[in-house]
Amino acid sequence: MPVTSAIHDFVAVITFSNPPVNGLGQAIRRGLIDALNEALENDAVKAIVVTGGSQYFSGGADIREFNTPQVQMEPSLHSVINAYEASTKPVIVAINGTALGGGLELSLGVNYRVASANALIGLPEVKLGLLPGAGGTQRLPRAAGLENALNMIVSGTPVLAKTLADTRLFDRISQGDAQDDAIALAHEVVAAGKPLPHVRDWKIDHPNAEGFLGFSRTAIAAASGPYPAPLRCLDAIEAAVLKPFDEGMQVERAGFMALLETPESKALRHAFFAERAASKVTDIGSDVKPREIKRVGIIGAGTMGGGIAMNFLNAGIPVTILEVKQEFLDRGLTTIRKNYDNSAKKGRMTAEQVEQRMGLLTPTLAYADLGDADMIIEAVFEEYDAKKAVFEQLDKVAKPGAILASNTSTLDVDRIANFTSRPQDVLGTHFFSPANVMKLLEVVRGKATAKDVLATVMALAKKIKKTAVVSGVCDGFIGNRMIEQYSRQAGFLLDEGALPQQVDRAIEKIGFAMGPFRMGDLAGNDIGWAIRKRRYREKPDMTYSKTADLLCEMGRYGQKTGSGWYDYKAGDRTAYPSAEVDAMIVKHSADIGVTRRKIDDKEIVERLIYSLVNEGAHILEEGIAAKASDIDTVYLAGYGFPVWRGGPMFYADTVGLSHVIAAMNRYAKGYQGDAWEPAPLLRKLADAGQSFNTTAKPA
Ligand code: T1G
């Protein structure tokens, strides 16, 4: 039963349950109303306690209902809160654990609130591009004070209940069991015949509310960038201060409805769902039991290997790290320690924690020392010969059932798996650099990868706080295969008339963290050069602008060599446009007989993003990605795609796929037009008026 009632003496205890986070879904809302009515009709009941009865009081509105008819069905959350507020018998909420969004708003509608000291309390709606839509903006400032409420609502960050102990929000902070304390309070209220207080009647006390709101408006406007929600939150809070309660509720309602329709909120909600959906693999059910990972081995103590190791150390998992030479091992360990020491200096961890983590790390030069590892991750050179040497060794020393993973970013995982006698235990774990910082992890499922191996790595990813997305085997997997098309377009734009700074500026203006050329300078242009050299052999038909090769021939590898697409000054990461590079680009256009033309920002943005979209469509069609939202998650978590645009596939859905095709057809008539052959899936969906993302289709 989603909602149950039990009578303790004369107190009705109503408990609602809706795993995983006690969201206030339709069945819960209905059950809460029925249980209330039953308690009101029962003469033996003198007071009512409402509780979530698990580690969650409630995560708020059930977001799984957001795109379904249930969300419109009565009773709405408003109706539930109104009914509880109108109760003629005292109602006490027992906040046993996390109370977020609508869960906190429900609590604010009743007469008394008891919270566990360590329960997390928050209104996180702003993180979904919304504002609290069930009275939170009106009641929280009355109960927790204007400044506390504003901070909580505008940041969306939850706080511990005990930090609000000196406000009117909670009548009691519980050190033990919140439900027991709520029942005790019910007894007191009934015995004393206490009145039924309502938060809506309370005044907002602040010595200079208007001054504070004015100051906050300036600060929020400056900090909220492209997001409309924070200022809308402020509007509603201001109405709580300046207007009667019911009028304030109308301002809140209007703000909520307006935000619901904004592309930013749609994109944020899509991103939230997409990330959680990515961890679910269709053919792996809960019957597939993950293997236990108690110890990890890592081959290679370079930048990648060291960064990967830190993820496990941070999660308390011991790591054995292997190198071929003592000198490399020493250097790797020094770097890891330096990273931790830097974090300690910035106050992010204590000196003791640094020692604890370093204590979990065992360096070795001997493969035999990896015999007790439950999972071994290889992070050596991107060459088959190097991988072959490592995996043949691992096959000899790894214990039966150990998972063997390759951190390759472009090579064929199936071929790597066949270097061993146990391809079922092999898969790819593609970390992004710096591996201890970047959230994305592409988990590459080989043809032979066993289900429990994949399930293990997906669960492990959660443990080390990565956003994991499953990719099939192909050159570049999801992220890099798409970025190659994007880089090709960036190069063609140079051939035709643009300069690196113009391309970067155009794409950064729409919200990308970094344009393709600044990104190349950061990552090292020599890496792309090496990959292209391989491509020239393997795929001679694939065309590229020569400018990137010419740049490397000039020795301009990027920040690490002090110059790349841009010039750099020592100790300064600012990218300064380079006259030398501009001249090289202009000369190259002349050499290939292209008359340079002025290219506008719109064309730059469309060509860069639609090149991602078209390759994404191929990837989806080939089953390399299981769903469009997985591709979006890759780009949001790993490639600096602006979150408020929801990822490339969602962005294309928002533009409309037929518009995307129309633009591609235009570009097909231009320079290097062959790149613009629409993927069959894109064409099919566009013809049918459909979108890539079916579950989170923008309305
Ligand atoms: N409803 C339903 N399911 C939810 C949920 C929710 N509100 N929140 C999370 N889940 C699922 C999630 O999909 C995942 O499922 C599992 O719970 C664990 O989540 C009118 C309109 C609660 C702090 O914005 O911030 O009230 O993948 O992996 O790190 O004002 O989820 O296991 O199947 O994230 O422990 C306001 C959003 C709604 C809360 C838990 N509420 N959620 O974090 O685990 S709007 C929110 C979170 C609202 C009213 C408005 C976090 C969490 P699965 P998880 P976690």
- What CATH number is associated with residue 667? 1.10.1040.50
H or E, element range at 500: helix 500-509
One domain, residues 253 and 302:
no
Using the atom order of ligand 1, give the atom closest to the CA of residue 156: 24
CA dihedral 410, 414, 420, 422 (to 10 degrees): 130
Give yes or no: residues 600 and 651 share one domain. yes
In this structure, what are the phi and psi dihedrals at residue 134, rounded to the nearest 5 degrees?
-125, 45
If DSSP states are collapsed to H, E and C, what string results for 182-242? HHHHHHHHHHHCCCCCCHHHCCCCCCCHHHHHHHHHHHHHHHCCCCCHHHHHHHHHHHHHH
Q: State whether 94 and 197 are in the same domain.
A: yes
The answer to whether residue 488 is domain-embedded is: yes
Rounded distance between C-alpha atoms, residue 627 and residue 619, angstroms: 10
Provide the pLDDT for residue 169.
98
CA 629 / ligand 1 centre spacing (Å)? 18
Distances 146 to 234, 532, 646 between C-alpha atoms, Å: 11, 58, 33
Q: Is 90 exceeded by the pLDDT of residue 648?
A: yes
Pocket (CB within 6 angstroms of ligand 1):
20-21, 23, 59-64, 77, 100-102, 105, 124-125, 128, 132-134, 136, 276
Q: Which atom of ligand 1 approaches the CA of 64 most closely?
A: 2
Task: Decide if pLDDT at 554 tops 80.
Answer: yes
Q: Could you report the per-residue pLDDT of 587-646, keeping only the tens digit for each?
A: 999 999 999 999 999 999 999 999 999 999 999 999 999 999 999 999 999 999 999 999
Q: Residues 113, 158: one domain?
A: yes
Q: How far is the CA of 692 from the centre of ligand 1 (A)?
A: 24
Are residue 116 and residue 49 in the same domain, yes or no?
Answer: yes
Task: Tell me whether residue 8 is in a domain.
Answer: yes
Where would I find the H helices in 524-642? 525-538, 547-553, 579-591, 601-621, 628-638
Please give the structure tokens belonging to residue 440. 């994305």
Known catalytic membership, residue 327? no
With the C-alpha atoms ordered 586, 592, 594, 598, is the resulting torsion angle positive or negative?
Answer: negative
- The tens digit of pLDDT for each residue in 143-171 reads 999 999 999 999 999 999 999 999 999 99
For residue 42, give its domain range.
Answer: 3-260
Q: Which two tokens stand for residue 102?
A: 């609508």
Distance 21 CA to ligand 1 centre (A): 6
Structural domain ending residue among the three candidates 450, 471, 492 = 471
Question: Is the pLDDT assigned to residue 698 strictly greater than 80?
Answer: no
| Mean pLDDT, rounded, for 472-500 | 96
Residue range 102-125: mean pLDDT, rounded: 98
245 phi and psi angles, rounded to 5 deg: -50, -50
Looking at residue 363, which CATH number applies to its domain? 3.40.50.720
Assess if residue 608 is contained within a domain. Answer: yes
**Does residue 287 form part of some domain?**
no
The residue annotated as part of the active site, out of 85, 125, 323, 496, is: 125
Confidence of residue 375 (pLDDT cuts 50, 70, 90): very high
Q: What's the longest Cα–Cα distance across the chain?
A: 94
Q: Whose CA is nearest to atom 23 of ligand 1?
A: 59
Mean pLDDT of 63-74: 81
pLDDT (0 to 100) of residue 381: 86
* Spatial distance between the Cα atoms of 170 and 149, rounded to a whole number of angstroms: 14
Atom of ligand 1 nearest to the CA of 124: 24
- Let me know: does 322 contact 299? Beta carbons within 8 Å: yes
352 is catalytic: no
User: Given strand 172-174, what is the order of strands in its sheet?
Assistant: 3-8, 11-16, 47-51, 91-95, 112-116, 172-174
Structural domain count, the chain: 3
Q: Mean pLDDT for the chain?
A: 95
Contact of 514 with 508, CB cutoff 8 Å? yes
Q: What are the backbone angles phi and psi of residue 683, rounded to the nearest 5°?
A: -65, -45
Q: Among 260, 285, 318, which residue terminates a domain?
A: 260
Rounded to whole angstroms, how far apart are CA atoms 156 and 140?
13
R_g of the chain computed on alpha carbons? 29
Residues 409 and 490 in one domain: no
Looking at the domain assignment, is residue 280 inside a domain? no
More confident residue, 391 or 66: 391
Report, as an integer, the average pLDDT of 211-230.
Answer: 96
Among candidate residues 232, 260, 288, the one where a domain is terminated: 260
User: In this structure, are 187 and 304 located in the same domain?
Assistant: no
Give yes or no for residue 530 having a pLDDT over 90: no
Mean pLDDT of the region 125-140: 97
pLDDT band at 65 (very low <50, low <70, confident <90, very high): confident
Cβ(351)–Cβ(344) below 8 Å: yes
Q: Percent of the chain, pLDDT > 70?
A: 99
Q: Are residues 497 and 464 in the same domain?
A: no
Clarify whether residues 306 and 186 are in a common domain. Answer: no
Using an 8 Å Cβ cutoff, are 169 and 84 in contact?
no
DSSP for residue 349: S
**Across 473-497, average pLDDT:** 96
- Catalytic residue (choose from 38, 41, 85, 105): 105
Q: Is residue 604 part of a domain?
A: yes
Q: What is the CATH number of the domain that holds 154?
A: 3.90.226.10
Output DSSP code: residue 368.
G
Question: How much is the pLDDT for 433?
Answer: 87
In tens, the pLDDT along 16-61 reads 999 999 999 999 999 999 999 999 999 999 999 999 978 899 999 9
Read off the pLDDT of each residue in 291-319 and give the average, rounded to a whole number: 97
Q: Give the ranges where 592-678 is alpha helix by DSSP (H).
A: 601-621, 628-638, 648-655, 657-668
The first and second tokens of residue 279, run together, are 């961890």
List Cα–Cα distances, 235 to 77, 257, 271, 444, in angstroms.
22, 14, 26, 47
| Span 354-381, average pLDDT | 97
Instruction: For residue 14, list its beta bridge partners.
Output: 5, 50
466 and 499 housed in the same domain = no
- Whether 531 and 608 map to the same domain: the answer is yes
Nearest-CA residue for ligand 1 atom 21 is: 61
Kindly state the percentage of the chain with pLDDT values over 90. Answer: 91
- In this structure, is residue 504 part of a structural domain? yes
The residue type found at 599 is I
pTM above 0.85, yes or no: yes
> Is the predicted pLDDT of residue 673 greater than 50, yes or no?
yes
pLDDT at position 666 over 50? yes
| pLDDT band at residue 531 using 50, 70 and 90 as cut-offs | confident
For residues 358-362, average pLDDT? 97
What strands lie across the sheet with 159-160, from one edge to the other?
Answer: 56-58, 98-100, 120-122, 159-160
Task: Indicate if 242 and 342 belong to the same structural domain.
Answer: no
How far is residue 94 from each of residues 57, 107, 348, 413, 653, measured CA to CA in Å? 8, 9, 34, 52, 43
**pLDDT of 573 over the 50 cut:** yes
Ligand 1 centroid from CA 345, angstroms: 34
Q: What is the position in ligand 1's atom list of the atom closest to the CA of 56?
A: 22
Assess if residue 278 is contained within a domain.
no
